[in-house]
Structure 1
Amino acid sequence: MLSLINKTAVITGGGSGIGKAIALLFAKQGATIHIIELNADAATAVIAEIKSAGGNGQVHAANVTDQQAILQVFKTIGTVDILVNNAGIAHVGNLENTSEADLDRVFSVNVKGAYNCLFAAVPLMKAAGKGVILNMASIAAHVGITDRFAYSMSKGAIYAMTLSVARDYLASNIRCNSISPARVHTPFVDGFIAKNYPDNQAEIFEKLSKSQPVGRMGKPDEVAHLALYLCSDEAGFITGIDYPIDGGFITLNN
């Protein structure tokens, strides 16, 4: 079950964190992995790990915000069975301390970046008569998170885009779902805390961990296993749905 043998999977931001965990697990289940990543060295290390375990994959050093570069990457890949839109950035701030440049930067990566990959992948999937898309949303798409104005905007857009693509391509046999993680312990989180809370990192880590009712952050592998199911043939009856993986954050924080 949950085999991805003979499938080609494209994963953006697959050089670390959740994207890396998804790439490694999908490769283990038989998929050929294509990582689109700005940090080519990190992605190369992931592909090397995949190949050392007997898998197959390739790195495409590209910025998801550059549509022409992304179109060329997908043209090179040729056939895409699975697209995981995982690349993303964050910003701390409410409306008043989110500058126009901040908003544009988050929108460009999180929203336009996902759009660019969808724009490139969907025609290939239509031509093949099938495909699976998984977008990385967030609990911030569902509930108010303090000082996450731009980030919440972008993840709300991802959720809405998921529904739109799922609806528009039913007849093309293309499924599209999203995952909404709460806080997951990744190098991204460690860097985020170090940058924004340099004087009390341990305290903030503990606070962020306890904000999930289960009392800890999620693990990248836990998100990857949900992603595997949603991208597998066993999930063929699932489309147009967002799956929180949040330790009870959305429903139990009352």
Structure 2
Amino acid sequence: MPQHLVDRRREELRSLIRLDGFLPVAEICRRLGVSEATARRDLVAIEANGHITRTYGGALADYNSSFDSVDERSGRARSAKERIARKAVAQIPRTGTIFLDAGTTIQAVARSLTQQRRDFRGLVVVTNSLSAATVLGGVESLELHVLGGMFLNRQAALMGARSLQALADWKFDFAFLAGEGMDAAGITNSHDHIAAFQQEMLGHAAKTLFCLDATKLGRATPHRVANWAQISALITDASAKNFAENQIELPASKLLRA
């Protein structure tokens, strides 16, 4: 095949990966009509130019160049996130210890919590999100803790080995967690540190509630966080039709519609 046609195909593939965030090899073959061997050669060539990172079974767009910042993401699906936030806050007990994850939907939960006209004495909030901590920092009578760790600037969050060490000291009544994708198998994220932290969190909370808006349905991201059996509930604005289209079967007891 002439080189200019190969270059054109590889540019199309690079654009597809950047648009989707993650593409498995099988999906690359389907979209471009190429063999698995050709797809893998193209991925090697694209990775050499620094545009992607190859993963087991697929390719991930370069994270720092493709993943939008908190500010860039905060305006997306704003009304859905606000509804999800209000539903999440309705689950928060008057006393106890809760965890708030990183992410713009959880940041909306923090904002919604500050709007409650209540005495926060007896409620302890722990977070690794600097955005959530900033929102909650001025709330009187609220006991707020921030877990340390490596700073991820596009999430404005603290992650990594130190955050896992800090997490070991805590047990939570509720953990409110975010995600980048949800499919028939469960919830995923694209950053390995975030996924590892959330996986560890599953063992530290009596109830884990994931807060994801409908735009996350069917998105393919490379790191599996939890299957549907592992979570306590999903808070979402997605409809029954949305779930059916994505072959997601979730018990009514685990679905909290916003």
Q: TM-score, normalised by structure 2?
A: 0.42
- Bigger fraction of residues in helix: 1
Higher-Rg structure is 2
**Which has the higher relative contact order, 1 or 2, with Cα contacts under 8 A spaced 6 or more apart?**
1
Q: TM-score, normalised by structure 1?
A: 0.42
- Bigger fraction of residues in strand: 2
